[in-house]
Structure 1
Amino acid sequence: MDKKIIIGAMTAIITPFKNGKVDEESYSKLIKRQINNGIDAVVPVGTTGESATLTHDEHRICIEIAVDACKGTNTKVLAGAGSNATHEAVGLAEFAQDHGADGILSVAPYYNKPTQEGLYLHYKAIAESVEIPVLLYNVPGRTGCNIEAKTAIRLFNDCENIYGVKEASGDIDKCVDLLAHEPRIIVISGEDAINYPILSNGGKGVISVTSNLLPDYTAKLTKFALDNEFLKAKAINDELYNINKVMFCESNPIPIKAAMFIAGLIDSLEYRLPLCKPSKENLIKIEKTMKQYNIKGF
């Protein structure tokens, strides 16, 4: 493949807050912990990073911190740079490129429900505004908008720097469809519970929520799969089943931030409204499940 690509074990990094503001020091520490545990790329300001409630300035600051933290390492930055307005998505993509991000992850426009032609034109405009790699992000459960396989393949073939799609639809058939009709396209898993099935079908990486807590597990799982050691990869995926399940007992990133707080990896448990702390019952469930795993600190 001629296109520049970012693949492997990637973490959709949380955004820690303290007293209502982005905790920049903790954010940098969390990213460095990912680097030290074998993660190939961090993904700042995605869904898990609460991008929908960050200001534009905070969004940009998070990208800058991630780039600084990864500088001089083998870990890349795939910056979240999506919006429901094309001009805003273009602006974020240009900022990410200008400030050293290795690529961008661009979520499908939300709320306004564009047609497939609108999606094509949206992503074409973004891709033409930058030279760094662009990964499409399909998460119809949140956006109300599905990037159909034909549209993703059309964009892949027409735009030099669009190299693949993060599939968070939970639809294995969609992943099979993509790779059956365009085997060169890069499919990245966006659903922790089915990381192994997607990788074993030809996926080239994961963008994980659980790896905020267990980056070493996710790194090993992905490496085994990409090395065609599928039995070893499946064993780790099976081991992670319980934690992957509980990480979605409430809307992401509510459970993963709670888990990070329980593990002592963030100092305060804060969200931006309308997100709020999990129920007491789910906090107990999260803590109980965490006891099954060896969680590495800093």
Structure 2
Amino acid sequence: MITGSIVAIVTPMTETGEIDHKALEVLVERQVSAGTSAIVSVGTSGEASTLSVAEHTDVIRRTIDVVAGRVPVIAGTGANSTSEAIHLTKSAHAAGANGALLVTPYYVKPPQEGLYQHFRAVAEAVDIPQYLYNVPSRTGCDMLPSTVARLAEVPNIVGLKEAAGDLDRVRDLVALGLEDFALYSGDDGTARASMLAGFHGNISVTANVAPREMARMCAAALAGDAESASEIDAALVGLHSALFAEPNPIPVKWALAEMGLMPGGIRLPLVPLDQWHHEDVRAALRSAGLLD
């Protein structure tokens, strides 16, 4: 089981919107050297919705090549069409991904039985470890703990990224007592509390800009060292908030560009961070010791 800080890495782009493969290599190397436990490639932070299918698979493959087996790479392969999710998951498997992260189908709002059948169909079609991803604020669809428990019985469904940001939901999921099933926070603001309550790690946006600090915080929380985890997290609280001043990945891509780690490119319908938020993000980066 993968534990600790897992980065939901951005897909860097030039100012004109082309994928910047050299910057991707820099970002991946930075994550590996900082102690990040695994990398999620082309998830929400990776701008999956703005990439073509060919680009989607290419970014995953290039990430795997740079990582070179040093940490697991989990590919974002969710879609609101089951057939498309199967296709993307097959492509990621062929590219050598260690697992696939599948978001609940967005916009269509399937009922719980539809969610169950969707994820089971993908799992049965592709023999790769698969992680469920629940983020109701973005998808308009909330996968309930009872559905998670049913899906955990499918052999290659091995975990869940829960991004509701609700500690009551966290406690309900831990109370299920699922064996050999990984529970990850998908909400940086509640990640520390989630791990202290029994989650196994955090799939993080903040780790893009503060990978070493997030790795240390997660390690402390997983060790049950609440005091150390709280102390480390206190310097990151501003980032957890500022990096969601506008929809992800707008603020985090701007922050990485501000840090000189990549160009500031982003694709429509996403746009660069509004100037109104620039100083707030800079202040959060300074508070975390990431900018002079």
Pairwise TM-score range, normalised by the shorter structure:
over 0.9
Equivalent residue, structure 2, for 1:67: 64
CA distance, structure 1, for counterparts of residue 38 and residue 198 of structure 2: 19
CA distance, structure 2, for counterparts of residue 231 and residue 291 of structure 1: 23
Counterpart secondary structure, 2:290 = coil
1:120 aligned to 2:87? no
Equivalent residue, structure 1, for 2:242: 246
Equivalent residue, structure 1, for 2:35: 38
Superposed CA RMSD: 1.3
1:176-207: per-residue Cα shift (whole Å, max 9, x none)? 11111234232101000111110011000001
Counterpart secondary structure, 2:246 = coil
Query: Cα distance, 1:277 vs. partner?
Result: 1.2
Counterpart secondary structure, 2:60 = helix
1:162 counterpart (157, 164, 167): 157
Q: Which amino acid aligns with 1:168?
A: A
Equivalent residue, structure 1, for 2:174: 179
CA distance, structure 1, for counterparts of residue 236 and residue 178 of structure 2: 28
Equivalent residue, structure 1, for 2:281: 286
Structure 1's consecutive aligned runs of 4 or more residues displaced over 6 angstroms after TM superposition are none
Equivalent residue, structure 2, for 1:9: 5
Per mean C-alpha deviation after superposition, the further-off stretch among 178-187 and 278-287 is 178-187
Percent identity among equivalent residues?
39
CA distance, structure 2, for counterparts of residue 89 and residue 183 of structure 1: 25
Alignment of 1:146-225 (within 5 A): 146-157=142-153, 159-184=154-179, 185-225=181-221
Kindly indicate whether the alpha-carbon contact (under 8 Å) linking 1:116 and 1:151 is maintained by their aligned counterparts in 2.
yes
What stretches of structure 1 of length at least 5 have no aligned partner? none
Equivalent residue, structure 2, for 1:28: 25
Q: Which amino acid aligns with 1:38?
A: G
CA distance, structure 1, for counterparts of residue 124 and residue 2 of structure 2: 18
Counterpart secondary structure, 1:17 = coil
Kindly indicate whether the alpha-carbon contact (under 8 Å) linking 1:153 and 1:182 is maintained by their aligned counterparts in 2.
no
Give the TM-score of the pair, scaled to structure 2. Answer: 0.96
Counterpart secondary structure, 2:84 = helix
CA distance, structure 2, for counterparts of residue 261 and residue 63 of structure 1: 21
Kindly indicate whether the alpha-carbon contact (under 8 Å) linking 2:27 and 2:261 is maintained by their aligned counterparts in 1.
yes
Query: Cα distance, 1:36 vs. partner?
Result: 0.7
Equivalent residue, structure 1, for 2:80: 84
1:231 counterpart (213, 227, 231): 227
1:191-226: per-residue Cα shift (whole Å, max 9, x none)? 001111100110000010011000000111111122
Query: Cα distance, 1:288 vs. partner?
Result: 2.2
Q: Which amino acid aligns with 1:140?
A: P
Query: Cα distance, 1:132 vs. partner?
Result: 2.1
Query: Cα distance, 1:289 vs. partner?
Result: 2.1
Q: Which amino acid aligns with 1:122?
A: H
